[in-house]
Structure 1
Amino acid sequence: MKALVWHGTKDIRCDEVPDPQIEQPRDAIIKVTSCAICGSDLHLYDHFMPGMQNGDILGHESMGEVVEVGPEAKHALKVGDRVVIPFTIICGQCEQCKRGNFSVCERTNRNKDIAAKAFGHTTAGLFGYTHLTGGYAGGQAEYLRVPYADATHIKVPKTLTDEQLLFLSDIFPTGWQAAVQCDIQPDDTVAIWGAGPVGQMAIRSAILLGAKQVICIDRVPERLDMARAGGAITINFETESVIERLNELTRGRGPEKCIDCVGLEAHATATLDAMYDRAKQAVALETDRPHVLREMIYVCRPGGVLSIPGVYGGLLDKIPFGASMNKGLTWRMGQTHVNRWTGDLLRLIEEGKIDPSFVITHTVGLEQGPDMYKVFRDKQDGCIKVVIKP
């Protein structure tokens, strides 16, 4: 089969690789009908995340049709089922899964000893996302092996398009969880840093959850246009002072809830802390660029909430933790517990309250995938979200 394969920093290729096979009794194989490039994949493209190996198949947003089922998954799946595959691989039986904390499943990371050394305890296995999270082949391919498939799947109706359903795999529940973590109240202002795909979903989620005012901070014109179309007030951080505008929009109080949809590759360029991060990262003295976190701590209203769906990979420097403590800020973060939310989100799609396909700007075949990584990363051609049709 064909798949998008990681060969090193900024080196993604469409290769011929062996077809996946059933390896464990709870496995299933799906024929991928649609997959996508995620902003988290760009951390792998730029090699900011540790644990990648030459030959790894990428991709953690995928859906398709079941073509083979292992003997212990047949009670839940059958050949011909149409499924979305969450990026988190879950057993459905461990204590964390029973609590709904699916992204920290205790059983599915087959490299759990490595993860425990890095993080203190293991987290769940993830598709196409480094050997710290299991080294599982990803879904930017013609076929995908789904481990623990009886738990790791979302059955979806044939009445909706792939484009409407695909993002149940990651960015829609990620944006939703980011907003839910804020405990949004009717008089809240929610400020969202980053108008990429997750930021766009967080905007619409915050509005669906009843926020009084949603503000989005970015610099890319097409992304800011899409954010405004979703109901947000926008701030272009290259032409406006984020702090001054937020104070103006909140009468000096600051937003009650702040969401970081940027993560470790913050692209602020004109601030002293951003230049400091770039310099330290260049000489391997810092792994992540946390400009957004610093800014959120500074502007958030005392007693507020910081929600962090943006991915971080390592060590951060110069975090104003004293300000966070003294202002009484609550931090809530983590990889998304996808299956906790998908029932409600599928109903929202079916009821016409949201159509996640609005975020798609480019649709290509697998062969164009390597080029689209660069287009997406460099925000060329108005690119916001890439869907791949294997």
Structure 2
Amino acid sequence: MKNIPALDPKVLGLVTEISKEPKVEAAIAFIKDQTEVAMLEQIELCEIEAPTFHEEKRAASVAERMRQYGLTDVHIDEIGNVIGIRKGSGNGPVLAIGAHMDSVFPAGTDVKVKKEGNIYRAPGIGDNCSGLRALLQVLRALEKEDIRTVGDIWFVGTVGEEGNGDIRGSKHLCANNKLDGFVAIDSTDVGRVLYGAVGSHRWRLAVDGTGGHSFADFGKTPSAIHAVCRAGNIIADIKVPEDPKTTFTIGTIKGGTTVNTISAHCEVDVDIRSVSNDELLRVESEVLGAFEKAIKEENARWGVADENGLKLTKTMIGNRPGGLRPHSCPVLQAARSAQKTLGIELTNYAMSSTDANAPMSHNIPATCLCSGGKGIGAHTLKEHFIMEKTELGPQLVLLTALALAGTETTKPLLG
């Protein structure tokens, strides 16, 4: 990659030092030795249905596994997140490591895993059962080698990361707890580190009126479809910056009944994205303003008073906050140093939309790391996972977490 920001040599030195601690070396080796066991756990979790908004059965399994692996403080919060707390030595930071439990697939989907050599096929096997596998591997390794940390580490299975779940689990976690750092585990490419969270606001905008016959009522009643077309014309010319990258689109449109009808109803779904919450809100305001203006213009075109003409209904259907972390952020520096220590090349220093959006929007040091292995065809029925170098994901998260939370011989990077 070109133009990679500088890596702090002090952080790299710290992570290298931690990696050479005997217990940490043993934990890294244990993760690799437990590859087959971990893969079995990934399969077992995949075969428990967990559609967004219905993660209860998988959550119960994740909670039971956390207890089985040594955590005594495990609970499921009000929204459905599984939280297992591994206490530090005291007066240290709180680091949350989270992997989302939900799947995009509806109840009744065949999630039985089919094995072909080192390839495992099933909807959800990679996204995000591989993340849950890595999360639990880190916990097992810490417990196996009795590695104590200065700060508390929260192991979290989150709900509602996908689609209309709108990262509700992560948002709830960050809004109701004091966290000093957050590492999400999602996707499989260990060469990726996220420094930015792409925020998105999604709206369903419905225009309604009386409608009428295309000939008999022409000139008497405004058209819902025409109003939406007017709004689209305005929206198409909205100016957005290249940096911070900001985008918008009318993604769907539907309405009308027949070719010879003045439409009584039309609705669109609009997606607005940015890594800057300020830009997100600015463009959102322009989009909503375009619809309000368009309705007034369509009503006025036919001489209909606004109170008797078309009406606008605005429904927010998605709200993911955005954010950016400075390249000096301790979580980013720790993650990149852990990559270098493990011989992993940074190939994708990027921005995306994950559970890390919520903490970044709260200015909490955060990133999203990956589980290892190779996931292909996420969000499709042909999804499959290739079991190769799967140990690298949990090893990366382990080293990053120890640098952030501090060990018996090192101070935590998190304040």
Same fold at TM > 0.5: no
**TM value normalised by structure 2:** 0.25
Instruction: Report 1 or 2 for greater relative contact order, CA contacts < 8 Å, sequence distance ≥ 6.
Output: 2
The structure with the largest alpha-carbon Rg is 2
TM-score (normalizing by structure 1): 0.26
